[in-house]
């Protein structure tokens, strides 16, 4: 099968086409003939040599795919050959075939193409587990996502709105802020020109925000604490601006804040299956109803994965970047 490998840690140019054997599957896995694969920030970090694959996972990049089931393990139930699925994979998505635990698969919604379906798993699993499980965002609460025009951002905005929250976002240009508001954000702030803490505090009449999803870290850690409402919850999924910050914890105490952080890739197969079940029950009907729609920035052929990574690192995109495999 055709794949894209990381030849050595480095820039986008180290992603090179190659050929490998089609992977064997375990009893609880399915083999997916990949039609499209999503590109995500963890792929970039892995390419740089800073986010190694967990034990037992493929060393190929790629954490989400869409395609058809080509083979089933002996213990798999509920799926059959030819089923159209999208899946959160443990690695190996940049390839014509990938093996994945069956519990991490979800049906491709009827109205979506494989390109659109491949944009869903990584961000939807991440948002559900951090925003709705760990931070327990509820209907009627307020929610802020930093990087609202990113793949995570466009998913988080729509999922939170669909679940009945009032949503705020930060983004790096007027165009990106407008895109966030078009997706349902009540208010988006250009962090390059405005103080998002003061702007959103004013918008909320000083109350602040119940749940904040942050992938920035660094000096945003203290800013999030300032902006959080009483009993607020802050969930970090990345620290692009650094893991260290000078933080005054007084407001964490007086506002009874909860700070959490997590990564999805090392979690157990059982946990990921539980998230898939929750998404199927709570979010997939919203996709079927048209309340949540994929946002695709650009599609590249698999062999041009390096160009896809260069676009992601430029931060010029709005929404998801996809590799077309078929």
Find the domain containing 139 and state its range: 124-261
- Over residues 31-84, the pLDDT tens digits come to 999 999 999 999 999 999 999 898 989 999 999 999 999 999 999 999 999 999
Residues 14 and 141 in one domain: no
8 Å CB contact between 35 and 68: yes
Question: Of 261, 287, 316, which closes a domain?
Answer: 261
Is 89 exposed, middle or buried (CB count within 10 Å of its CB: 0-12, 13-18, 19+)? buried
8 Å CB contact between 82 and 262: no
Residues 60 and 188 in one domain: no
Residues 111 and 143 in one domain: no
pTM attached to this predicted model: 0.96
Residues 189 and 113 in one domain: no
Task: Locate the DSSP E strands across the chain.
Answer: 2-6, 15-19, 29-39, 64-72, 84-88, 97-101, 105-107, 142-145, 166-171, 187-190, 209-214, 228-236, 258-261, 296-301, 320-324
The CATH number for 88's domain is 3.90.180.10
Pairwise CA distance, residues 63 & 84, whole Å: 17
| Residue 117: its H or E element | helix 114-117
Share of the chain above pLDDT 90, in %: 98
- Over residues 171-199, the pLDDT tens digits come to 999 999 999 999 999 999 999 999 999 99
Q: Helices in 139-227 by DSSP H: which ranges? A: 151-162, 174-182, 196-203, 220-227
Report which DSSP code applies to 268. Answer: -
Per-residue model confidence (pLDDT) at position 66: 98
8 Å CB contact between 34 and 147: no
Pairwise CA distance, residues 274 & 279, whole Å: 9
Is 200 exposed, middle or buried (CB count within 10 Å of its CB: 0-12, 13-18, 19+)? buried
The CATH number for 170's domain is 3.40.50.720
Q: How far apart are the first and last CA of the chain?
A: 12
Per-residue model confidence (pLDDT) at position 151: 96
Residues 269 and 255 in one domain: no
8 Å CB contact between 98 and 19: no
Name every residue whose Cβ is closer than 8 Å to that of residue 17 and which is 6 or more positions away in sequence.
2, 3, 4, 5, 302, 303
Pairwise CA distance, residues 138 & 131, whole Å: 9
Q: How many structural domains does the chain have?
A: 2
Pairwise CA distance, residues 241 & 311, whole Å: 19
- Over residues 84-105, the pLDDT tens digits come to 999 999 999 999 999 999 999 9
């Amino acid at each position: 099968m055709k794949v894209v490998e990381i030849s050595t840690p480095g820039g986008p140019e180290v992603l090179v086409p190659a050929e490998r054997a089609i992977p064997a599957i375990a009893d609880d896995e399915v083999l997916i003939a990949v039609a499209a694969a999503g590109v995500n920030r963890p792929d970039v970090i892995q390419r740089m040599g800073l986010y190694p694959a967990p034990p037992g996972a493929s060393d190929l990049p790629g954490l989400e795919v869409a395609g058809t089931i080509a083979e089933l393990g002996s213990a798999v139930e509920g799926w059959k050959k030819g089923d159209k699925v999208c899946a959160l994979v443990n690695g190996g998505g940049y390839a014509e075939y990938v093996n994945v635990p069956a519990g991490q698969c979800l049906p491709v919604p009827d109205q979506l193409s494989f390109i659109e379906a491949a944009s869903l798993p990584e961000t939807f699993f991440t948002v559900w587990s951090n925003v709705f499980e760990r931070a327990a965002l509820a209907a009627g609460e307020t929610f802020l996502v930093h990087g609202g025009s990113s793949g995570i951002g466009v998913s988080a905005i729509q999922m939170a709105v669909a679940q009945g929250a009032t949503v705020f976002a930060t983004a790096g240009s007027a165009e990106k802020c407008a895109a966030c508001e078009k997706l349902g954000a009540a208010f988006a702030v250009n962090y390059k020109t405005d103080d998002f803490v003061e702007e959103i505090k004013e918008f909320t009449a000083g109350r602040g925000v119940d749940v904040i999803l942050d992938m920035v870290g660094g000096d945003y850690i203290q800013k999030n604490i300032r902006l959080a409402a009483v009993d607020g919850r802050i969930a970090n999924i990345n620290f692009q601006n650094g893991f260290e910050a000078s933080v005054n914890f007084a407001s964490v105490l007086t506002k009874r804040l909860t700070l959490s952080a997590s990564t999805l890739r090392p979690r157990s197969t059982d946990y990921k299956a539980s998230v898939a079940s929750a998404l199927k029950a709570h979010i997939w009907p919203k996709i079927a109803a048209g309340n949540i729609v994929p946002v695709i920035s650009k599609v590249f052929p698999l062999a041009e994965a390096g160009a896809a990574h260069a676009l992601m690192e430029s931060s010029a995109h709005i929404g998801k970047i996809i590799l077309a495999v078929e």
